[in-house]
């Protein structure tokens, strides 16, 4: 692994940047005498986070659980639809405008509809997360499949491979990098959806905590909620990035991969 | 050369006919087929697209290839050479006419086919070994035991073939770690691993430099001599065609049609030195003349 020193330096730089960001924030608050109600200091936010951790924990779990539940369902439905749409040129060309139309609707707009149908609570939050994660996955999987080089498929077809064998051996592996790219987008969007839905219509979850905190002018708690969301988002992103590296390192053309074998 | 010449069995065809053991066991009652054609294009035409965009790629073409032959298809670019390979591999249906392979319509898949293209088309997510092994995962009867044998017998089989083309020890590499010439060697292995009766090669060396190409001629000749598949090779390199094949078929400019059919009977194994022999050069010059005339006619039209 020749790139080791390089990647450590990279990680060090990223960490330094994050710490630097918070330090700068803290410094600005002191220098410009910014009120806690407007922008609390990071030190204050982290103290709140620490002190209120026992109370925040169940809400964090709730939000994470809701998001992931909707996200996983969304990904399953998304992959199925994506395979359907991407497996033939005609289906792709026909469905693409509709897909683009759907994905450009701000999905948060459906929250009130879900609340209307299913009442307040966890269900609309799960559904919002689901609906949000479907489209990036469908579009990317379909694009990955539809743009598979015909020559690659011909290799298998000439051997007399069945359609399913071509899909399994060429189409799906070829679409993998597209799929993972969409997962990374979908999981962060999914959080946005859940939190928004919790803000509007739920009495649990980080979204709700932030809503209540802001109506009490407990601004440090609102920011603590933001930090929790950011941490969850980053953790899930890293999880999928690691999976991506493992499963489709080939698309990144790193010589390191051979060593991983 | 007239089409009649094809009906006189060549020395190779006779050798094959008297040694039926060489033949992959054909279905019963097919014994008389052994001398007959492996490939038969009968009055085949191909038109791509419809209406105003229709493009006739292949004009009424009749072509027979006997078991064990090594036929080179040459002709100006765009004349339908790749189209013929797609017909024979069953990737494409003719607009009119029939394509018979192994005595049955091509769709019946009576004959196992191996194929290699100008671009190496290795799957980038698989190691060279897994790429070469791919046909064993797809083709009957190998596929039935794929799970059981992929780590043992099949692996050894792949390794032996890689060794034969000079890629011993490269099985664990990924395609992007190989040079163009190495990729084409691997590509040949993938086309041959399931021991197909019919090998279809579409300008397999077209993207390589002269030296690598000449090395690969020797490799391919060696593979052909040890395994004796029937080969249909598309190429635009006339030296390559004469070096490798037992017969050269020249197609006219689009829409393609067979305009010349020449048997090549230099002794084997052929060498690069032989390609400078006056008789050899004579043949390439004659073919070059044929193709050049066609091109200048298009120029005037
Ligand atoms: N899928 C296709 N759709 C439309 N036209 C095609 C297609 N494939 C090939 N053609 C056209 O048919 C003609 C013959 O193509 P091809 O068989 O690939 O020629 P070549 O002899 O160069 O291999 C070319 O003019 C090409 O542009
Ligand atoms: Mg071609």
* A173 touching B (Cβ < 8 Å): yes
Residue B125 lies in a domain: yes
Give the residue numbers spanning the domain of B209: 3-21+66-90+109-300
Residue B189 lies in a domain: yes
- Is the Cβ pair A250, B174 closer than 8 Å? yes
Q: Which of A161, A250, A258 sits opposite B138 (nearest CB)?
A: A161
The DSSP code sequence of A17-51 is HHHHHHHHHHHHHHHTT--TTTS--HHHHHHHHHH
Q: How far is CA B218 from CA A179, B194, B213, B222, in A?
A: 43, 21, 9, 6
Distance CA B120, CA B175 (A): 9
Residue B58 lies in a domain: no
Query: Is the Cβ–Cβ distance between A220 and A44 less than 8 Å?
Result: yes
Q: Name the residue of B54, B76, B83 whose CB sits within 8 Å of the most ligand 1 atoms, as the mutation to test its pocket.
A: B83
ipTM value of the model?
Answer: 0.77
- Roughly what angle, to the nearest 10 degrees, separates helices A42-51 and A219-248? 90
Q: The CATH number of the domain where B208 resides is what?
A: 3.40.50.300
Residue B130 lies in a domain: yes
Query: Is the Cβ–Cβ distance between B112 and B196 less than 8 Å?
Result: yes
Residue B37 lies in a domain: no
Ligand nearest to the CA of B81: 1
One pLDDT digit (tens) per residue for chain A, 261 residues: 445 667 888 889 989 999 999 999 999 999 999 888 889 999 999 999 999 999 999 999 999 999 999 999 999 999 999 999 988 888 888 988 888 888 788 877 888 888 899 988 889 999 999 999 999 999 999 999 998 888 899 989 999 899 999 999 999 999 999 999 899 889 988 888 899 899 888 888 999 999 999 999 999 999 999 999 999 988 988 888 888 888 888 887 654 444 333
Residue B48 lies in a domain: no
Residue B32 lies in a domain: no
Distance of CA A185 to the CA centre of its chain: 5
Chain B interface mutation, best of A144, A153, A158, highest count of B Cβ atoms under 10 Å: A158
Question: What does the pLDDT look like over B197-244, one tens digit per residue?
Answer: 999 999 999 888 898 899 899 999 999 999 899 999 999 899 999 999
* B299 touching A (Cβ < 8 Å): no
Angle at A237 between CA A231 and CA A241, to 5 degrees: 145
The label of the residue with tokens 């395994």 reads B227
Distance of CA A222 to the CA centre of its chain: 21
Radius of gyration from C-alpha coordinates of chain A: 22
Residue B254 lies in a domain: yes
Distance CA B208, CA B202 (A): 13
Chain A interface mutation, best of B88, B124, B191, highest count of A Cβ atoms under 10 Å: B124
B37-48 sheet: strands from edge to edge:
B55-66, B37-48, B96-101, B104-105
- Between the CA of B202 and the centroid of ligand 2 the distance, in Å, is 7
* A33 touching B (Cβ < 8 Å): no
Domain count, chain B: 1
Q: Are strands B70-74 and B247-251 parallel, antiparallel or unpaired?
A: parallel
């Amino acid at each position: 692994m020749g790139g080791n020193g390089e990647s450590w330096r990279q990680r060090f730089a990223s960490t330094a940047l994050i710490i630097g960001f918070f330090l700068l924030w803290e410094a600005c608050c002191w220098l410009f005498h910014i009120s806690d109600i407007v922008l609390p200091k990071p030190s204050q936010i982290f103290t709140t986070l620490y002190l209120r951790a026992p109370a925040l924990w169940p809400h964090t779990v709730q939000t994470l659980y809701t998001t992931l539940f909707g996200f996983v369902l969304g990904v399953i439905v998304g992959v199925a639809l994506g395979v359907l749409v991407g497996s033939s040129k005609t289906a792709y060309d026909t469905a693409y405008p509709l897909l683009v139309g759907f994905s450009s609707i701000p999905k948060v707009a459906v929250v009130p509809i879900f609340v209307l149908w299913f009442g307040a609570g966890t269900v609309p939050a799960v559904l919002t997360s689901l609906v949000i994660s479907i489209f990036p996955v469908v579009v990317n999987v379909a694009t990955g499949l539809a743009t598979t080089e015909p020559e690659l498929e011909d290799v298998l077809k000439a051997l007399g491979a069945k359609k399913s064998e071509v899909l399994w051996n060429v189409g799906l592996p070829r679409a993998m990098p597209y799929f993972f790219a969409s997962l990374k987008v979908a999981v962060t969007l999914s959080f946005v959806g859940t939190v928004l839905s919790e803000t509007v219509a739920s009495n649990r979850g980080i979204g709700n905590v932030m809503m209540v905190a802001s109506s009490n002018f407990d601004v440090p708690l609102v920011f603590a909620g933001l930090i929790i969301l950011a941490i969850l988002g980053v953790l899930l992103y890293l999880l999928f990035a690691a999976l991506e590296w493992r499963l489709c390192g080939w698309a990144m053309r790193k010589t390191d991969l051979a060593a991983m074998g | 050369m007239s089409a009649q010449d094809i009906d006189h069995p060549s020395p190779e065809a006779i050798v094959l006919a008297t040694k039926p053991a060489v033949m992959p066991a054909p279905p019963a009652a097919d014994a008389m087929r052994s001398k007959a054609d492996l490939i038969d294009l009968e009055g085949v035409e191909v038109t791509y697209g419809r209406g105003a965009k229709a493009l006739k790629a292949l004009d009424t073409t009749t072509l027979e290839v006997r078991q064990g032959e090594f036929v080179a298809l040459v002709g100006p670019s765009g004349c339908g050479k790749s189209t013929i390979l797609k017909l024979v591999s069953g990737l494409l249906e003719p607009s009119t006419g029939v394509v018979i392979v192994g005595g049955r319509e091509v769709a019946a898949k009576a004959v196992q086919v191996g194929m290699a293209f100008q671009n190496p088309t290795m799957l980038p997510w698989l190691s060279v070994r897994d790429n070469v092994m791919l046909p064993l995962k797809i083709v009957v009867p190998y596929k039935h035991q794929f799970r059981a044998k992929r780590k043992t017998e099949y692996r050894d089989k792949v390794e032996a073939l890689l060794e034969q083309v000079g890629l011993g020890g490269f099985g664990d590499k990924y395609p992007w770690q190989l040079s163009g010439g190495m990729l084409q060697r691997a590509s040949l292995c993938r086309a041959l691993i399931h021991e197909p009766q019919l090998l279809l090669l579409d300008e397999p060396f077209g993207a390589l430099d002269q030296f690598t190409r000449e090395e690969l001629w020797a490799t391919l000749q060696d593979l052909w001599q040890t395994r004796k598949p029937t080969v249909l090779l598309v190429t635009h390199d006339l030296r390559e065609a004469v070096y490798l094949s037992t017969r050269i078929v020249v197609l006219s400019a689009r829409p393609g049609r067979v305009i010349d059919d020449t048997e090549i009977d230099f002794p084997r194994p052929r060498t690069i030195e032989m390609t400078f022999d006056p008789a050899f050069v004579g043949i390439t010059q004659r073919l070059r003349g044929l193709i050049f005339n066609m091109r200048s006619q298009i120029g005037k039209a």
